[in-house]
Chain A
Amino acid sequence: MSRHPLQESMDGVWVVVPAFNEAAVIHGVLRSVLAHFSSVVVVDDCSKDTTGQVSRAAGAVVLRHPINLGQGAALQTGIDYALAQGADAVVTFDADGQHDPADAVAMVTLLREARCDVVLGSRFRGATVNMPRRKRLLLKLAIAYTRLTTGLDLSDTHNGLRVFSAQAAGRIRITQDRMAHASEILAQVARQHLSYREAPCTVSYTSHSKAKGQRLTGSVTILRDLMIRRLY
């Protein structure tokens, strides 16, 4: 496999992939990411399948949570590791194959050219493949919620593809262990006045990613988690 021309400049970038029971698809996902990036860390959130072994065989560093903590906690573990390795930028990338590594490369390039703290992937500026209509409605509600609570003018607020400069990654602290971390990250971006850009990205919906994705009941749980966090 020939190296991507931008490969050299992607050295020093760490890709964080939170994963839970993704053995069926994660090998292909990691191979495509490793074609562009040399440093990938998979945070295996105590999967019951062989996600960890498959990821190591594919060429990624694997950190395994001894108990299942949730995607938010897995992201923070991966970010901690990346920063300890001296990463100069951190990419968060979903394990289910919904993202395109080429978009991540473009986002890192934008982060450097625009000298901003955070680049957020947006499927509504980019493209979606086979997005269910109900999913679109749910995401639009989430975007409205984010605008209301943080004042951020974003076109896609719950996208797993993000790029942080090392400095920004160090200032963000995810305490929402489960799925409410997406809202929490944006709240911290707003509160700390981090500079951000949105970049178009493609999100592909497969039967696998749809089965693992969030449902309406999930967003109720997210709202509850966000409310509880304000109480103490």
Chain B
Amino acid sequence: MAIAAVIAVGLFLTLFPAALQALADRLGVGRGVDLMFYIVILAAFLAVVNLHVRMRVLQDSLRDLARAQALRDPKLPLEEASADGRTTS
């Protein structure tokens, strides 16, 4: 979806560069290309933040999964240790 929108906007601005220049003039930016440069930097920053949050959320699920596996398979003390009366179970 997001990629389709980027392609559509890109196509439009390539075919009608004057539109980009008009927008830049309106926002007080010198050239249309400069405006595009600023927008790309902002978009890249948001993408990094988005990926970071997704990664942390994924890490939390991974943690829960690893914990579940550890809890499902407790290794009880070996025989030598329980022989002297220190059994745990």
In the complex, chain B residues whose CB is within 8 Å of the CB of A40: 88
Is the CB–CB distance between B66 and A67 below 8 Å? yes
Name A44-61 residues within 8 Å CB distance of B: 52, 56-61
Nearest chain B CB to A102 CB, angstrom units: 18
DSSP majority for the A interface? mixed
- Any B CB within 8 A of the CB of A38: yes
Known contacts A38-B88, A40-B88, A43-B70, A61 near B62 by CB under 8 Å:
no
The contact of A177 among B53, B63, B70, B80, by CB within 8 Å, is B63
Tell me the bound Cα distance from A175 to B59 in angstroms.
11
The contact of B80 among A57, A67, A81, A231, by CB within 8 Å, is A57
Tell me the bound Cα distance from A84 to B56 in angstroms.
27
DSSP majority for the B interface? helix
Q: Mark A13-50, 1 if CB is under 8 A from B, else 0.
A: 00000000000000000000010001111010000000
The size bracket of the interface on B is 20 to 34
In the complex, chain A residues whose CB is within 8 Å of the CB of B56: 228, 232
- Any A CB within 8 A of the CB of B25: no
Is the CB–CB distance between A73 and B53 below 8 Å? no
- Any B CB within 8 A of the CB of A118: no
In the complex, chain B residues whose CB is within 8 Å of the CB of A228: 56
Nearest chain B CB to A229 CB, angstrom units: 9
Q: Which of B10-18, B35-43, B71-79 contacts A (4 or more CB under 8 A)?
A: B71-79
Name A77-114 residues within 8 Å CB distance of B: 77, 80-81, 84
Is the CB–CB distance between B62 and A232 below 8 Å? no
Tell me the bound Cα distance from A43 to B67 in angstroms.
10
In the complex, chain A residues whose CB is within 8 Å of the CB of B86: 34, 38, 59
Residue ID in chain B nearest A52 by CB atoms: B75
Name A133-191 residues within 8 Å CB distance of B: 175, 177
List 20 extra interface pairs beyond A60-B88, A231-B53, CB under 8 A: A40-B88, A43-B70, A52-B75, A56-B76, A57-B78, A59-B77, A59-B81, A59-B82, A59-B86, A63-B73, A63-B74, A65-B67, A66-B66, A66-B69, A67-B66, A73-B66, A77-B70, A80-B71, A84-B71, A232-B53
Interface residues of A (CB under 8 A from B): 1, 34, 38-41, 43, 52, 56-67, 69, 73, 76-77, 80-81, 84, 175, 177, 228, 231-232
Can you give 17 contacting A-B residue pairs, CB < 8 Å?
A41-B74, A57-B78, A59-B78, A59-B86, A61-B74, A61-B88, A63-B71, A64-B73, A66-B69, A67-B62, A69-B66, A73-B67, A80-B67, A81-B71, A228-B56, A232-B53, A232-B57
